[in-house]
A = this chain, B = another copy of it.
Amino acid sequence: MSPTLSSQLTVSGPIDLSGYDSRATTGFDGKKADAKKALARLGDELGDLQEKLFAAGRTGSRSTRVLVVLQGMDTSGKGGIVRHVAGLADPQGLAITSFKSPTPAELKHDFLWRVRKALPEPGMIGIFDRSHYEDVLIGRVRELASPQELERRYDAINAFEQKFTDSGGVLVKCFLHITKDDQKDRLAARLDDPTKYWKYSPGDLDERELWSDYQEAYEIALERCGEAAPWHLVPSGRKWYRNWAVATLLLEQLRALDLDWPAPDFDVAAEKKRLARM
Residue ranges of A at the interface with B (Cβ–Cβ < 8 Å) = 55-56, 58-59, 79, 82-83, 86-87, 89-92, 94, 96, 98, 127, 129, 184, 187-188, 191, 194-195, 197-202, 205, 208-209, 261-264, 266, 268, 271-272, 274-275, 278
Question: Could you say which residues of chain B place their CB within 8 Å of the CB of A205?
Answer: 271, 274-275, 278
Question: Could you say which residues of chain B place their CB within 8 Å of the CB of A90?
Answer: 82-83, 87
A271–B87 Cα distance when bound, in Å, is 32
Q: Are B197 and A261 in contact (CB under 8 A)?
A: yes
Asked whether A268 and B197 contact (CB < 8 A) given A184-B275, A275-B184, A278-B184, the answer is yes
A198 to B: closest C-beta gap in Å: 4
Q: Are A198 and B275 in contact (CB under 8 A)?
A: no
Which residue on chain B has the smallest CB distance to residue A275?
Answer: B187
A60 to B: closest C-beta gap in Å: 10
- Of B184, B197, B263, B264, which one neighbours A200 at CB under 8 angstroms? B264
Asked whether A91 and B92 contact (CB < 8 A) given A198-B55, A200-B271, A275-B187, the answer is no
Q: Are A197 and B263 in contact (CB under 8 A)?
A: yes
Which 8 pairs of residues, A with B, have the shortest CB-CB distance? A55-B198, A197-B264, A82-B92, A86-B91, A83-B90, A59-B198, A198-B262, A202-B266
A58–B98 Cα distance when bound, in Å, is 12
- Of B91, B208, B266, which one neighbours A91 at CB under 8 angstroms? B91
A41 to B: closest C-beta gap in Å: 17
A143 to B: closest C-beta gap in Å: 22
A278–B194 Cα distance when bound, in Å, is 22
Which residue on chain B has the smallest CB distance to residue A211?
Answer: B278
Question: Could you say which residues of chain B place their CB within 8 Å of the CB of A261?
Answer: 194-195, 197-198
A43–B242 Cα distance when bound, in Å, is 24
For the complex with contacts A86-B92, A184-B275, 10 further pairs of A-B residues with Cβ separation under 8 Å are A59-B198, A79-B92, A82-B90, A82-B91, A83-B92, A94-B96, A187-B275, A188-B275, A195-B261, A202-B271
